[in-house]
Structure formats: structure tokens, C-alpha cells
Amino acid sequence: MGEYVGDGHGGTKPLMDFPGIAPAEIGTQALPTALVIGEAPLTGRTPSRSINWYRVPPVSTTRMLLVTLQPTADEDTDLYLLSGDGEAYSPKAACLGYSNRLPVAGDDVNGYAPDWVAFDIGATAGRQAAQVAVCGVATGVTPKHYRVECDAVWGLTVNGVAKAGTLTEYDSHWYRFLGQQGTSYDVMLVAHSGDPDTYVYQGDARHFIAKDVQVGSGTSVGFTASVTGYYYIRVHGYKAGSYQVGIDSPGS
């Protein structure tokens, strides 16, 4: 039996190609582990062709959230976000998004590219905001090791006020801004303590278009927008600490 969900792009996307165990529905059954918004990532591992389930708890206001699946070795796991309405494991369920990037050693955070999905969610009136499936792909080493977390996405204004944050080790904060094609931008990160790193992504791409992982109190990373659209900034805590991040456009 194969379970299918809408992939958010007008088609269907196979969740897995073998009989799996559905996540516990809202009610008297025990719920999967919560990915509390804004808290430190959870560590996990899953065998090939298996699924680990998590849930994003209810939210009271409309907001943009983002789930990050960060491999900690060169192993392939995929990320699916399903509706949290208690019917998430049915063929007609809404899929909030998915990411099935191929693992690329030597690229991105700690050497491995992440899977991540951003989604807008309204007030959920007590139901879960999302159910999260971490799927172990049937290739390579087993089990697959990873960290997974859920964060709010905060807006940045070009040439506006910088945002401040505090990270635990391996935690991430996400920001976004609307970039204009052909315009140059500088992402500026001031580390007050610890060792935060900066990664810039275009749209929902899994691989960065610019990064800065230098240790120091003040760093910047520049790039030119190739298309008009949203760009995402990931501030990753290589070591716990505090920071400020902002985005400028020279000459504008």
C-alpha cells in the first residue's frame, strides 16, 4: 500500500512506497514528539524505509513557520509536512510542503545540505499546526542521523533595523526579505558572543547562494539577486551565543 499526499504544487507526492505506521491522530492516543517553535533542535535517527513522526503544536495567530531537517552525516533523509488536522495520513490530506534534496558532503551547514520547508499557517484552534515526517531513504548507511527543529520566520527590511537573537548550540534562526533582480545586497552579522554562521538561500532552494562562517565579532556576505522574490537567511549557532543581523543594499 502506498500513501500519497498533495505536494502543494498541484499534483501528488508519494510519502513512502511501503506500508508505514500512521502518526497518532488528535484525541486519546499519544501524540508524536513536539517540535516546539523556537526551541533547540531535537536529535534523531531513522532506519532506511522508515518514518519518524513529529508534530508542530497549535498556534494562536497567523504566522510563517519553517521546519529544518539537518543531516549530521552524509546520509539521506527526506522531509514532509502534512496537515495537522488529524487526517494527515489520508490520500486526500493537504501536504504543506516537502524537501527531498540529495545529500552533498562538503556543502552547507557542518558540511551537509539541509532539507527545509517554510509554510504559512493561520490560527489552528487547538489542532496541531503540522505533522512532520522524517523519512529514511532506502540507500546508503542506516540508520540516518539528523537534527530537526521548527522556527518562526522573521522579516528583515532592506536598509532597516537589525534584528537581535540568542542561539543555543546547533540552533537556527530564519529571516527573509524581498529581493529585486539585479540588486546587490549585504547581509551583516554581528556576533556578541559564541560563533553564529550566516547562510543565504534563494526561494526554497536547499543549497546556499552565499555564506559566511568566519569567526569574529562582525562579518558580512554579499550577493546579487538573480530573480525577484523572497530570499531566506539562516543564522546557525555553530556555538551558543547572541547576535544581530541586518540586510543592506549599497546605493539604495
Q: How far is CA 10 from CA 67, 94, 224, in A?
A: 21, 11, 31
Residue 252, pLDDT score = 65
Secondary structure tally for the chain: helices H, strands E = 0, 19
172 is written with which cell numbers?
A: 537556527
pLDDT grade, residue 215 (50/70/90)? low
Residue 90, pLDDT score = 52
Task: Say yes or no to pLDDT of 16 above 90.
Answer: no
Q: Please, what are the domains in the chain?
A: 3-15+30-151 (2.60.120.380), 156-248 (2.60.120.380)
Residue 220, pLDDT score = 84
Q: Report how far residue 122's alpha carbon sits from residue 60's, in angstroms, rounded to the nearest whole number.
A: 8
Count Cβ neighbours within 10 Å for each residue of 173-206 and write b for 16 or more, e otherwise: bbbbbebeeeeebebbbbbeebbbbbbbbbeeeb
pLDDT grade, residue 4 (50/70/90)? very low
Q: In this predicted model, which residue has the larger pLDDT, 214 or 193? A: 193
Q: In this predicted model, which residue has the larger pLDDT, 72 or 166? A: 166
What predicted TM-score, i.e. pTM, was given to this entire model? 0.85
Residue 85, pLDDT score = 67
Q: In this predicted model, which residue has the larger pLDDT, 247 or 207? A: 247
Residue 103, pLDDT score = 65
Percent of the chain with pLDDT over 90: 39
AA identity, residue 118: A
The pLDDT tens digits of the residues spanning 128-168 come to 888 888 988 877 777 889 999 999 999 999 999 999 999 99
Task: Say yes or no to pLDDT of 219 above 80.
Answer: no
Residue 113, pLDDT score = 83
The pLDDT tens digits of the residues spanning 40-70 come to 999 999 888 788 889 999 888 888 999 999 9
